[in-house]
């Protein structure tokens, strides 16, 4: 049984469908952890994926800063943040501050699906031992 981790999920508007699809695919693993999300992202994860999520404010209204404070308090162990590289955000300073704090706190951060796939398949999250005898081909 894996330890229950705090996972923060955040996506900018053009990336929200990606986040929903990714979370749906990884629903079982995610559901075993304590999930935090910014407002709109969290709403979609609750409504469309059926996950239980601690919803904070919407990003432009302070949600990124709230996630940052949860990181500073040690409640968030990893951040999945699908930020949009093609659109300017009105709350860009908050986005930068969140990413800065995540790096400073040395928690894993995934900013796209490929990285998120690596992190979510970690034995630290799945509880599956990759060297378990039944998984090792001889
Ligand atoms: O803006 C965001 C992250 O910077 C995300 O906020 P929402 O999930 O409320 O759209």
What's the 126 CA to ligand 1 centre distance in angstroms? 26
Per mean pLDDT, which range of 13-22, 104-113, 129-138 is the poorest?
129-138
Q: Where are the beta strands (DSSP E) in 2-138?
A: 6-11, 34-37, 54-55, 78-82, 109-110
Q: Is 64 a catalytic residue?
A: yes
- How many Å lie between the centroid of ligand 1 and the Cα of residue 100? 16
Alpha-carbon gap, residue 25 to 17, rounded angstroms? 12
The tens digit of pLDDT for each residue in 74-133 reads 999 999 999 999 999 999 999 999 999 999 999 999 999 999 999 999 888 888 877 787
Nearest to residue 78, comparing CAs of 7, 11, 22?
7
28 class by beta-carbon count within 10 Å (0-12 exposed, 13-18 middle, 19+ buried)? exposed
**Amino acid 138: pLDDT:** 67
The pLDDT of residue 137 is above 80: no
Is the pLDDT at 39 greater than 90? The verdict is yes
User: Which residues surround ligand 1 with Cβ inside 6 Å?
Assistant: 10, 12, 38-41, 58-60, 63-64, 89, 95
- Give the closest residue (by CA) to ligand 1 atom 10: 40
Architecture of domain 6-135: 3-Layer(aba) Sandwich (3.40)
How far is the C-alpha of 82 from the C-alpha of 15, rounded, in Å?
Answer: 6
C-alpha 132/C-alpha 136 separation (Å) is 7
């Amino acid at each position: 049984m894996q330890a229950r981790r705090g996972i923060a999920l955040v996506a900018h508007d053009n990336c929200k469908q990606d986040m929903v699809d990714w979370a749906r695919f990884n629903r079982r693993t995610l559901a075993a952890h304590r999930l935090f999300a910014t407002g709109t992202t969290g709403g979609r994860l609750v409504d469309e994926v059926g996950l239980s999520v601690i919803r904070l404010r919407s990003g432009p209204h302070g949600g990124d800063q709230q996630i940052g404070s949860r990181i500073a308090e040690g409640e968030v162990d990893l951040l999945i943040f699908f930020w949009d590289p093609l659109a300017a955000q009105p709350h860009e300073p908050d986005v930068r501050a969140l990413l800065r704090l995540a790096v400073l706190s040395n928690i894993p951060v995934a900013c796209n699906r490929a990285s998120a796939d690596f992190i979510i398949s970690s034995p630290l999250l799945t509880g599956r031992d990759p060297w378990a005898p039944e998984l090792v081909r001889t």
